[in-house]
């Protein structure tokens, strides 16, 4: 290989720096500790820069739009989120980087070793796209993107400290904890979230790094942005047992609504992914335009903000009891619909804060209901809003410990621990019993990625799938398919032979010129090592009796049928009992 002089000098300079570093820090453990400190510091600075840019963009745009006369204001409220979504979609499509969505599923998949390692280019693209979309009015949060942006610095920091790339799995949770700590100013909740979502059984070995990085990031955030809690609320206290039934009702309601929100989000995301006749920019523009319509309705009919962006205005109104029941009911519906439209269309942003804001409005409604009862005491509506935040978060995100701790750190209020734990655990158990797959895992399963370890006694898709399958090309028209009929279902593959989805029925009235890739029923797929029971749950969510089974290169190798799989599981269970 021929090296140019400038390239040779650059490589020699890098080698000299590494040699000096190895002399100063000869042990790998000492370099790893310093790398952890550096990662916490870098994550804190990056998070503060990211949040400051987002707040400046969204507030400047909001003031400018609000000062425009009608009907231009209404047109801008609808058009700006759609235009921002389209531009973000163009950049996302042309870059080919894994920067869509929340960012937490990508970090989970990378940490499990089932996703390509992403670096600074992905982090920079995530930063830019979030400023475009969230600043442009999408109903999305900044916390998930902060996690991915901070995680994108890990490969570079490992290289600087001459640490092996195999340590990426160790440092990704550290970056995630630092990102959450800086995003919310909640170091304790950040550590528990990283443990609940990313580490699992390996949590004890990485505990020190998590605590150190989260503490450093949170200290930087407080030095730069202030040490006060993110939401200034009164010091509420739980004083009467007569309100416990109302808090229990709130937990049940949040559990049911959280389950519905989870299912709608997974289902609508799958529906948008199935709109392959529309390019990525068009899908994001559709989601942005829908969000703009919901923002306009809230602005003009309810005189409320909080639909566009993460939803901090809705949170503050709920916690301070500055709204009425009718407005809060409308905001629950509009904020939920806007978040579904923004995220499921492929938007770039998280769901942390939108979920908290929806939960606060649900809690307010229960608080208003409780205050109208004959036995009502002096518990303010804002206290119910606070508990509703945690209960809905626990039902949707499925991080029950984080859902309790994050509210304590966000508000500095520790007086509602009993009703908060009662409502959170009630909502969490209801949601988990009816749908055991957490929402980020459901997104990954929808994309054909399973992150959890498989135990030796747990059946897998490879144990139960059918190696026989039928394939059709994506560019085949319906007329050509009928000329050489094949029994359904069929796996649809692209021009490279890669699986893109499945067709199991042909709807009435479809023209003969329609291509097979416009008739996909699902784009979900499974791998041989995926556990069977989560796969069956995914099929239930997708409403599918069959799913393709693919290899690591996304080539079809078989079909997984729900009925056949259940029959084989029942047969094996009977044999074991005998």
- pLDDT tens digits, residue range 307-321? 888 888 888 888 888
Top mean-pLDDT range of 82-91, 414-423, 471-480: 82-91
State how beta strands 556-561 and 546-550 pair: antiparallel
- Name residue 350's beta-bridge partners: 141
Reduced to 3 states (helix: H, G, I; strand: E, B; else coil), residue 375 is: coil
- The answer to whether residue 15 sits within a structural domain is no
Residue 421 tokens, joined: 């734990």
Q: Residue 298 falls within a domain, yes or no?
A: yes
Confidence of residue 4 (pLDDT cuts 50, 70, 90): low
Tokens matching residue 542: 């997708």
Q: What is d(CA 367, CA 388) in angstroms, rounded to the nearest whole number?
A: 10
The dihedrals phi and psi of 549, each to the nearest 5 degrees, come to: -110, 130
pLDDT band per the 50, 70, 90 thresholds, residue 204: very low
Q: Are residues 79 and 169 in the same domain?
A: yes
- Judge whether 473 lies within some domain: yes
Are 230 and 352 in contact, with CB atoms under 8 Å apart?
no
- Looking at the structure, tell me whether residues 251 and 208 fall in a common domain: no
Of 295 and 23, more confident: 295
Left (φ > 0), alpha (ψ -120 to 50) or beta: where does 494 sit? Answer: beta
Per mean pLDDT, which range of 121-125, 145-149, 531-535 is the poorest?
Answer: 531-535
* For residues 293-322, average pLDDT: 86
Residue 95 predicted with pLDDT over 70: yes
Side-chain-facing half-sphere of 71: CA atoms under 13 Å? 3
Is residue 58 predicted with pLDDT exceeding 80?
yes
Q: Can you tell me the mean pLDDT for 269-298?
A: 86
Would you tell me how many other CB atoms lie within 10 Å of the CB of residue 451? 19
Of 104-108, 142-146, 551-555, the one with minimum mean pLDDT is: 551-555
Can you say whether residue 509 is alpha, beta or left, with left for phi > 0 and alpha for psi between -120 and 50 degrees? left
Domain endpoint, select from 225, 250, 279: 225
pLDDT, mean of residues 7-21: 51
> Could you give the CA distance from residue 95 to residue 537 in angstroms, rounded to a whole number?
33
Residue 218 lies in a domain: yes
Per-residue model confidence as pLDDT tens digits over 338-354: 999 999 988 898 898 89
CA distance 293 to 75: 9
The last residue of a domain, from among 194, 225, 256: 225
Q: Are residues 385 and 292 part of one domain?
A: yes
pLDDT at 9: 45
pLDDT, residue 1, reads: 44
Asked if 147 contacts 177 with a C-beta cutoff of 8 angstroms, the reply is: no
156 and 69 inside one domain: yes
Backbone φ and ψ for 471, nearest 5 degrees, come out as -125, 140
Mean pLDDT over residues 82-86, rounded?
91
CA distance 547 to 531: 14
Residues 75 and 219 occupy one common structural domain: yes
Comparing 362 with 446, the larger pLDDT belongs to 362
| Same structural domain, 412 and 468 | no
553 located within any domain: yes
Beta strands per DSSP E along 66-201: none
Contacts with 94 (C-beta within 8 Å, 6 or more apart), sequence order = none
437 within some domain: yes
User: What pLDDT, on the 0 to 100 scale, is given for residue 93?
Assistant: 85
Q: Which of the pair, 493 or 119, is modelled with greater confidence? A: 493
Give the per-residue pLDDT at 87.
93
User: What residues make up the domain containing 150?
Assistant: 24-225
pLDDT tens-digit readout, 364-413: 999 888 887 776 667 788 888 889 998 999 899 888 777 777 777 777 66
Q: Which residue has the higher pLDDT, 540 or 287?
A: 287
Structure tokens at 206: 């990485």
> What distance separates the 2 farthest-apart alpha carbons in the chain?
86
CA 545, 509, 269, 335 torsion-angle sign:
negative
Q: Do residues 92 and 67 both lie within one domain?
A: yes
Lowest model confidence (mean pLDDT) among 30-34, 131-135, 144-148, 194-198: 194-198
Residue 564: which CATH number? Answer: 3.10.580.10
Residue 453 has what pLDDT? 54
Domain CATH number, residue 287:
1.10.3080.10
The pLDDT of 291-320, averaged and rounded, is 87
Beta carbons of 238 and 416 less than 8 angstroms apart: yes
Residue 155 counted as domain residue: yes
pLDDT at 147 over 80: yes
pLDDT digits (tens, 9 = 90+) for 214-223: 666 666 666 6
Predicted local confidence at residue 235, as pLDDT: 67
In a shared domain, residues 399 and 499: no
Most confident of 17-21, 46-50, 444-448: 46-50
Under 8 Å CB-to-CB from 122, ≥6 apart: which residues?
A: 97, 98, 99, 148, 152
CA 453-459-464 angle, 5° bins: 130
Query: Whole-angstrom Cα distance, residue 171 to residue 173?
Result: 6
pLDDT at 120 over 80: yes
For residues 219 and 266, state if they share a domain.
no
Phi, psi of 363 (to 5 degrees): -60, -40
Instruction: Indicate the number of domains in the chain.
Output: 3
Q: Is the pTM of this model over 0.85?
A: no
Residue 373: the pLDDT is 76
310 and 384 in one domain?
A: yes
Q: Which of 390, 421, 443 is the last residue of a domain?
A: 443
Are residues 403 and 278 located together in one domain of the fold?
A: yes
Average pLDDT over residues 268-284: 81
State the pLDDT at residue 364: 92
Distance from C-alpha of 377 to C-alpha of 323, rounded to nearest angstrom: 20
Angle at which helices 120-133 and 143-151 cross, to 10°: 160
Neighbours of 257 (CB within 10 A): 22
Six-digit token string for 409? 């750190």
Q: Please say if the pLDDT value at position 541 is more than 70.
A: no
Is the alpha carbon torsion for 541, 542, 547, 551 positive or negative? negative
Separation of first and last alpha carbons in the chain: 66
Q: What is the model's pLDDT at position 202? A: 45
Same-domain pairing of 56 and 190: yes
Instruction: Tell me what pLDDT residue 70 has.
Output: 80
The radius of gyration of the chain's CA atoms, rounded to the nearest angstrom, is: 25
Eight-class DSSP state of 135: T
Residue at 232 is within a domain? no
How many whole angstroms separate alpha carbon 397 and alpha carbon 165? 30
Look at residue 230 in the predicted model and tell me its pLDDT: 63
């Amino acid at each position: 290989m021929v090296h140019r002089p400038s390239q040779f000098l650059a490589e020699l300079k890098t080698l000299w720096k590494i040699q000096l570093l190895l002399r100063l820090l000869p042990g790998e453990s000492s370099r790893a500790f310093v790398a952890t400190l550096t990662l916490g510091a870098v994550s804190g600075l990056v998070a503060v820069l990211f949040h400051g840019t987002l707040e400046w963009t969204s507030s400047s745009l909001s003031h400018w739009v609000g000062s425009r006369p009608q009907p231009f204001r209404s047109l801008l409220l609808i058009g700006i989120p759609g235009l921002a979504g389209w531009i973000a979609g163009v950049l996302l499509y042309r870059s080919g980087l894994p920067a869509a969505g929340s960012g937490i599923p990508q970090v989970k998949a990378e940490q499990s070793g089932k996703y390509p390692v992403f670096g600074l280019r992905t982090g920079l693209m995530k930063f830019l796209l979030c400023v475009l979309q969230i600043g442009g009015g999408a109903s999305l949060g900044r916390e998930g993107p902060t996690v991915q942006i901070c995680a994108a610095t890990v490969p570079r920091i490992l290289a600087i400290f001459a640490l092996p790339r195999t340590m990426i799995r160790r440092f990704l949770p550290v970056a995630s904890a630092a990102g959450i700590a800086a995003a919310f100013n909640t170091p304790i909740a950040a550590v528990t979230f990283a443990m609940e979502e990313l580490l699992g059984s390996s949590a004890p070995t990485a505990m020190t790094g998590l605590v150190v990085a989260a503490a450093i990031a949170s200290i930087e955030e407080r030095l730069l942005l202030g040490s006060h809690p993110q939401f200034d609320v009164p010091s509420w206290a739980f004083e009467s047992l007569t309100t416990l039934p109302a808090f229990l009702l709130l937990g049940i309601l949040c559990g049911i609504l959280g389950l519905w929100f989870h299912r709608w989000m997974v289902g609508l995301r799958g529906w948008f992914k199935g709109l392959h006749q529309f390019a990525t920019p068009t899908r994001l523009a559709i989601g942005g335009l829908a969000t703009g319509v919901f923002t306009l309705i809230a602005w003009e009919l309810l005189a409320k903000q909080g639909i566009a962006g993460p939803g901090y205005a809705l949170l503050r109104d709920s916690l301070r009891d500055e709204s009425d029941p009718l407005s809060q009911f409308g905001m629950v519906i509009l904020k939920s619909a806007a978040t579904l439209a923004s995220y499921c269309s492929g938007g770039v942003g998280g769901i942390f804060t939108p979920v908290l804001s929806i939960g606060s409005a649900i809690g307010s409604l229960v608080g208003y209901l409780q205050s109208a009862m004959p036995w009502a005491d002096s518990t303010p509506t804002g206290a119910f809003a606070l508990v509703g935040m945690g209960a809905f978060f626990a039902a949707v995100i499925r991080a029950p410990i984080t859902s309790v701790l994050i509210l304590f750190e966000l508000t500095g209020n520790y007086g509602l621990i009993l009703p908060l734990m009662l409502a959170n655990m009630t909502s969490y158990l209801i949601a988990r019993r009816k749908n055991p797959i957490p929402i980020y895992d459901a997104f990954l399963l929808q994309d054909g990625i399973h992150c959890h370890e498989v135990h030796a006694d747990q059946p897998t898709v490879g144990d139960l799938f059918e190696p026989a399958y039928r394939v059709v090309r994506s560019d085949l028209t319906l007329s050509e398919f009928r000329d050489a009929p094949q029994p359904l279902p069929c796996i649809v593959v692209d021009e490279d032979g890669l699986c893109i989805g499945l067709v199991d029925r042909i709807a009435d009235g479809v023209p003969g010129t329609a291509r097979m890739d416009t008739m996909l029923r699902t784009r979900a797929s499974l791998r041989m090592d995926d556990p069977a029971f989560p796969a069956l749950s995914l099929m239930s969510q997708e409403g599918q009796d069959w799913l393709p089974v693919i290899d690591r290169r996304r080539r079809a190798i078989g079909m997984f049928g729900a009925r056949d799989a259940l029959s084989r599981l029942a047969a094996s269970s009977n044999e074991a009992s005998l």
